[in-house]
Every structure is written in C-alpha cells, then in structure tokens.
Structure 1
Amino acid sequence: MNCHKVGYFPDEVVLQILARLPIKSLFRAKIVCKLWHRLVSEEYFVHLYNELSVRNSMVLVEVSDSSESTNMSLICVDNLRGVSELSLDFLKDRVKVRASCNGLLCCSSIPDKGIFYVCNPMTREFRLLPRSRERPVTRFYPDGEAALVGLACDLPGQKYNVVLAGYHRTFGHRPDGTFICSVFDSESSKWRKFVSLQDEHFTHMSKNQVVFVNGALHWLTGSACILILDLNYDLWRKMQLPDEVGRGPGNRVYLLESDGYLSVIQISEAWMNIWVLKNYEREDWNLVDRVSLRCIRGLVPGIFPISQTQEYVLLATHKQILVYQRKSRVWKEMYSVKNGSTLPLWFSAHSFRSTIFSCQ
C-alpha cells in the first residue's frame, strides 16, 4: 500500500495524527506502509508522542480475581478512552507493582524476594534488574519488601533509576538507625549505595504516592513535610507543605504530580483543596482549586486522589474509580469492581501514562 495515494497530507500532519493514537493502534499503523513505519521510528516522533501522552494521566490498579487474592488483573482507567485491561504475563512471574513513572512500572516478584523488574506494559518490554547487594529490612505489609520503592523516568533522556530504601539490620538484631538507599542506574546497569543517619522523617511515609519532578523523588511523610531524594547528588532534603494545609483530625493530605509540577491535595469532610508548587526553588505554593465534596458526601471518608491534570482528578475508593472534571465540576464513576476483592482499590492504585519508553 502506498500511503501517498491515501491523501496529500504533509508529513507533519500525519505525525500529529499518529501521535494521538493508542500505542496498540500505533504499532498496527507502523506496518501499513514504509512511510508510516519510517515516521513512527524516528526520534522526533518518540519525543512528540511522549510529550502528548504525559498530558493524559491515568490510573493503573491491581484487582484480585477472587477473594483468595492469588490472581491479579491490571485495570487501566483512562479519562479519554475509558477502561481497559493490561497484562504483565510477559514477565513470566507473579509480581506486584511497586512504583509507576512516565509509562514504566517497577514490579517486585512475589515468590522470589529481592527480584525486581522494570517494564513498559504497553510495549511489553521489560528488564530484570540485577540483585542489589543490600537488603533494606524495614518491611511493609503485605509485601515484605523494602519500605520505600521509587522509580524515576527521564523521558527526554530515555533513562531511569530505581530506588530501594530502608533501615539496615544485622541478623537477629534491631535496626541500628542506618538508613540505606540503593539506586539502580539504567545507563550503567549498576547499583550504587549511600547511607544516611537515622531521621524520624524516614518513617510513616506514603509508599504509593512517590512523585518524580525536577530530577528528584518526593515522598510525603507523617511529620508534615515532604522528603526529597535528589538523584543528581544522592542527597536527602526536606520541603515544607503549604502553610494553609491542616493536619488535624478529619484532614488528609496527598502528594501528586500535576502536569510536571509537584501538587498537594488536602481532603476534609466537605472540601478538596489543590495546591501546585509553581516555583520549585522558592517553594512557592499556589492554591489552584477548591472543590466541594457534597455530591459524594458518603464516599468522602474512603476516597483517595491518585492522578490528576489541569483538566481532571482521578480518585479511588474501596470499590470505585471516580473522575472529577475540574472545568465542568462534574463527578463520574469510571470503574467499579464487581468481584470480592479483599483489598481496597486505593491500596494498589498508581498514577500511569502511556508512553514509548524502552526499558532495555
């Protein structure tokens, strides 16, 4: 088939059309003709596709097929395209998703502790990471893995880091207060390690909501601050939450990304307030939205924001994924679990994007 006979669109117009296809449709389009195959294979197109894709943030959630929770399915909830099911069967292992960033997932093997994969579920590429010599011992139920797992994917540079962190403990002894951080570098294919002194901020951290912006990973702590790991210098530092954020009874705080910016969402009984860190260096937080929760009053105690853009917020409850359209101020149910899943959806929900990112 000669694509030039289909129409007389310039290459740039064809690129813009192809860049808006789902990845599965894009792969089918590659084999239509030589021109499309060439256009899609160029580095310019990969950057264009990823640039458009990161504007559409989704939710990826693991759902158990039965009350025994032995078989897990991966559900992708997309504000634009609805609900689809993904599979990690290409890993040939039973795994749990530990972190998500810019289209890549970091998964840990359930049968074999200490085995980690980085994969792109859209392209079905994966990489088995070499074993880290360090075994952080702080455990998190029910996985028994490192307390903190972070994934940092640099889309323009097409490189990534995996972070495992926890307190060190010799066999038969209590943790000695040494906090060990191991970082895998995709370019060198090696792990590096650095050690920090004991700090109360390393405890009670939200394991799922780790955010990668400005070359650093960010975790929300239980002590009213954000803990930052600068991957360029292997240094931990702290950042304060917006002054207006209250941490008293009835207030819950979450750390998310919003179109490349760090964002804090506070949920109370009646309101959802959204802050965005517009100036990272000066730590200048702006309150960008204030949402009444009266429409979903019965769901508020068990609702968790997972993913957002300037256009919408995706939230998880025990059994549902909801979307809030910020311009029209309309709530909508996107997905509801129908089986006897034992764990709430927010427990295993991650922000996700569909990108062309090779993890090889």
Structure 2
Amino acid sequence: MEWLDERKMDRGKKPGKLLGNKNSKNHMDLQDIIRESALPFLPAKSLRRFTGVCREWKLQISTPFFAHNQSYSFRDVSGFFCQSPSGALSFVSLNQMAYGVPDPSLKFLPEPVDIRCSSNGLLCCQGRTGYRAYYICNPVTQKWKKLPETTANHGTDPAVVLVFEPSLLNFVAEYKLVVSFASDLDGYEFEIYSSIDGSWRISAEISFGKMKLLPRTGVHVNGVVYWSSSMGRIFSFDLSCERSTIINNIGSSSLGAVNGKLHTACLLGSKLSVSELSNAYTNTMQMNSSAKQWQVKHAVTLNFSVPDLYPRSYDKETVLFLGGDVVVIRHEKKLISYNMKTKEFTEVITEEDTYSRMVPYVNSLVEI
C-alpha cells in the first residue's frame, strides 16, 4: 500500500514539472514568433529603434533577408516628402514615433533634386543640373541609383509614375519608371525605364487629344498607370499591352489604389466620398445600359468644411492621398488622416503654410 501511495504521489508531481517546462518552451516560442513574424510588419524607423532591444533582434533586423521581407510586408503610407517653392525638402510624418527618415533633405544624393513620385518605399527624384537625371533612392538606407539619360525631352514638370510592387520571389527591387510627355504630333507619348534592362524605351503608343495631363496626379493600380487631366477626365496607360484610354471622372477628385482597384476621393464642403472604378468600358456598351462606371464605396461627413477650390490644380488639391484604408486631407495648416476602416481621424500639424508638392512615402527597408 505504501508503494502504491508513493506512485500516486509521483504521478501528481510529474505533470507539474512538465507543465513548467511547457510554459518555458511557450515563452521561448513567443519570442521567436515576435522576431520572425511580427517585426517585418513594422515601419523602418521603429525597427531601427528596436535594434537596441537585444543582440538577436539587432542581427535579425540587419540581415538582407529581413529587409526584403519587411519591404514586402509593410505597405502603409507613413507620411509625405514635401518641397517648398524655394526647393527646401522636409518630411511630414503621420506618426512621429513610428515613421521617419534620417535625412529628409536628401543631402546624400550627389546634387540638389526635385521630388517626383514614390512607390512602396522607393523615392524618385530628378536632378537640377546637367541632363536632369532621375534618381531612385531609399531615404531610410540612403542608397540610390542614377538612371541613364532619357531619349525624349520630358519637360520641366514631367508626368512620372514609379511602379514598384515588392515580391517575395525577387530579392532585388525590380521597378519601372513611366513618363508621359508631350509629343511633336500634338498628343502624348510614353517613355519607360526598366530596372531589369537598365535602359529607357519609347513606346509605340501615341495618345491624341487636347486634354492636358496633371503631372503629379499619377498612380499605378494593378498594371495600369492613371493620371488626372485638366478636362476632368482620367488618362490611363496599360503597361501590359501599352495602350492608352480615356475614362470619365467624378468631378474634381484624387486617384488612388484600394484593394487592387482604382478609386477616387472627392471632398466637397464637408462631404468626403470614395468611389471605385467598377467598369472602365461603359462607353463601349449599348445605350441605356444599367452598368455604372463608378460606385460609391465610402462616404462620411467631416466636422469641418473645406472651401470649394474648383477648378483645382494639382497644387491645391484638398485630398492629398488615397490608398489602402487611408485618405489624407489638407485643411489649412494641418494634414488630416482618415482611416476608412476604423473611421478614426488623426491630425498632423505641418511646419509650412504651403508646399509646391507633397509626395506620399512608405517607411521601408527595401534594397536598391
């Protein structure tokens, strides 16, 4: 009987010992999960700060594979690179604790530049001297590449769109720079730079018409580049077949990508509406068709009213950015970020009254 009692007592002790070991193992697994699975979804500024947590985190964040994984995982707009009329550069962060770059003035570039556009962590700038070369850079890592001279004359304020879609399969950033420029044939032509080929190429496509593209309105959505025009229409260029088309727009609105589709954001007074391009080919359908070209996906009444600036230029757009779940609005000296998913507003105070241009930026570790 005593022997049986001792066995019962032993059995009572063993689960406690194993349970303690299991808790210890789970604790270690949680650390691994955070390091391997959570860190890649954080912005670059936060990650630079987290390198001081421990040696393992520092080594993890410093590897090229981690930088590649983070550039694929993190896509949230983090703020705006701003350029004043005098040419001075600065960065307005939507969250100063989380987002930022070490040198907003971009002095690491070999010459003074004008900011043009950005895409998923890469920033496109254009030099002010010589043949006004284009530069592709990452302001976080301060690495850059100077592109070769273009074949065509793109003018003083080119309509440029940078196309970079991070892929888990490509460890080297592969991107395209698409430029629409005025043709001698009274229309628009397109010159494309490919990082794979390392050269420029003029497309055979020529778009004829009297409308004027608004250079700083370009966006890339699912293989198609779009620009707003001075006639209130949207000008598109399909990169797969290299064909251009004209799409009717909803008044004066800003363009953006939401869930892989083209959306527009329009702000009239205190009414903000976001619409999705549901059918780009309504002009080819039979008369009296019930198919709608645009569908309103989100509408909200703001607690302030923005004066109507119509007709707007791209320097005075009240909606500065539309993408993912975020709409960023310019109101007086503030930028107001509105999250369509959480329906939350966040105010960002800027230092300057006006900027000649503001380019959205994603805080990424992408390698060039």
What range is the shorter-chain TM-score in?
Answer: 0.7 to 0.9
Name the structure 1 match of 2:78: 58
Cα offset for 1:24? 3.9
Inter-CA distance 167–237: structure 2 relative to 1 (3 Å threshold): same
Q: Does 1:275 align with 2:275?
A: yes
Name the structure 1 match of 2:366: 357
Contact 2:191-2:202 within 8 A present in 1 as well? yes
Whole-angstrom distance in 1 between the partners of 2:336 and 2:125: 25
Q: Please list the CA deviations of residues 162-190 of structure 1 after superposition, one character each: whole Å capped at 9, or x if unmatched.
A: 1222124xxxxxx4425332111001101
Inter-CA distance 29–284: structure 2 relative to 1 (3 Å threshold): same
Aligned length: 321
Contact 1:82-1:334 within 8 A present in 2 as well? no
Q: Please list the CA deviations of residues 259-316 of structure 1 after superposition, one character each: whole Å capped at 9, or x if unmatched.
A: 43321112223422101246789996431111224x2225564652122355432112
Q: Please list the CA deviations of residues 228-259 of structure 1 after superposition, one character each: whole Å capped at 9, or x if unmatched.
A: 22223332233344xxx3x3xxxx22212224
Whole-angstrom distance in 2 between the partners of 1:328 and 1:151: 29
Secondary structure at the residue paired with 1:122?
coil
Q: Please list the CA deviations of residues 193-249 of structure 1 after superposition, one character each: whole Å capped at 9, or x if unmatched.
A: 124445126x322222211111221112233432222223332233344xxx3x3xx
Cα offset for 1:192? 0.9
Which amino acid in structure 2 is aligned with residue 112 of structure 1?
G
Contact 1:179-1:195 within 8 A present in 2 as well? no
Contact 1:57-1:308 within 8 A present in 2 as well? no
Inter-CA distance 129–113: structure 2 relative to 1 (3 Å threshold): same
Q: Does 1:135 align with 2:153?
A: yes
TM-score (normalised: structure 2): 0.74
Contact 2:306-2:331 within 8 A present in 1 as well? no
Cα offset for 1:332? 4.1
Whole-angstrom distance in 2 between the partners of 1:179 and 1:332: 39
Whole-angstrom distance in 1 between the partners of 2:225 and 2:207: 19
Cα offset for 1:84? 4.5
Whole-angstrom distance in 2 between the partners of 1:308 and 1:79: 17
Whole-angstrom distance in 2 between the partners of 1:311 and 1:24: 21
Which amino acid in structure 1 is aligned with residue 267 of structure 2?
I
TM-score (normalised: structure 1): 0.76
- Pairwise CA RMSD: 3.3
Name the structure 2 match of 1:78: 94
Name the structure 2 match of 1:41: 63
Given the alignment, which residue of 227, 233, 249 partners 2:241?
A: 233
Contact 2:318-2:331 within 8 A present in 1 as well? yes
Which amino acid in structure 1 is aligned with residue 247 of structure 2?
M
Q: Does 1:155 align with 2:166?
A: yes
Cα offset for 1:97? 0.7
Any gaps of 5 or more consecutive residues in structure 1?
A: 169-174
Q: Please list the CA deviations of residues 26-72 of structure 1 after superposition, one character each: whole Å capped at 9, or x if unmatched.
A: 356568536763576364x4564234421x223313243xxxx5451
Whole-angstrom distance in 1 between the partners of 2:243 and 2:331: 35
Secondary structure at the residue paired with 1:127?
strand
Secondary structure at the residue paired with 2:82?
strand
Q: Does 1:348 align with 2:363?
A: no
Whole-angstrom distance in 2 between the partners of 1:119 and 1:223: 33
Whole-angstrom distance in 2 between the partners of 1:303 and 1:289: 19
Given the alignment, which residue of 95, 105, 130 partners 2:113?
A: 95
Contact 2:328-2:337 within 8 A present in 1 as well? yes
Inter-CA distance 82–234: structure 2 relative to 1 (3 Å threshold): same
Inter-CA distance 234–177: structure 2 relative to 1 (3 Å threshold): same
Whole-angstrom distance in 2 between the partners of 1:265 and 1:28: 35
Larger Rg: 2
Identity among equivalent positions (%) equals 19
Inter-CA distance 195–270: structure 2 relative to 1 (3 Å threshold): same
Cα offset for 1:87? 3.2
Name the structure 2 match of 1:115: 133
Secondary structure at the residue paired with 2:217?
coil
Whole-angstrom distance in 2 between the partners of 1:284 and 1:12: 45
Secondary structure at the residue paired with 1:90?
coil
Which amino acid in structure 1 is aligned with residue 143 of structure 2?
E
Secondary structure at the residue paired with 1:93?
coil
Cα offset for 1:358? 2.3
Which amino acid in structure 1 is aligned with residue 81 of structure 2?
V
Alignment of structure 1 residues 1-360 onto 2, 5 Å? 8-9=28-29, 11-27=32-48, 32-33=54-55, 37=59, 41=63, 43=65, 45-46=66-67, 48-54=69-75, 56-64=76-84, 69-70=85-86, 72-79=88-95, 81=97, 84=100, 86-136=104-154, 139=155, 144-146=156-158, 148-156=159-167, 157=170, 158-168=173-183, 175-177=184-186, 179-197=188-206, 199-200=208-209, 203-241=211-249, 245=250, 247=251, 252-277=252-277, 285-293=294-302, 295-298=303-306, 301=309, 304-309=318-323, 311-317=325-331, 319-326=333-340, 329=343, 331-338=345-352, 344-345=354-355, 347-359=356-368
Cα offset for 1:126? 0.7
Whole-angstrom distance in 1 between the partners of 2:338 and 2:245: 33
Inter-CA distance 281–180: structure 2 relative to 1 (3 Å threshold): closer
Whole-angstrom distance in 2 between the partners of 1:310 and 1:179: 30
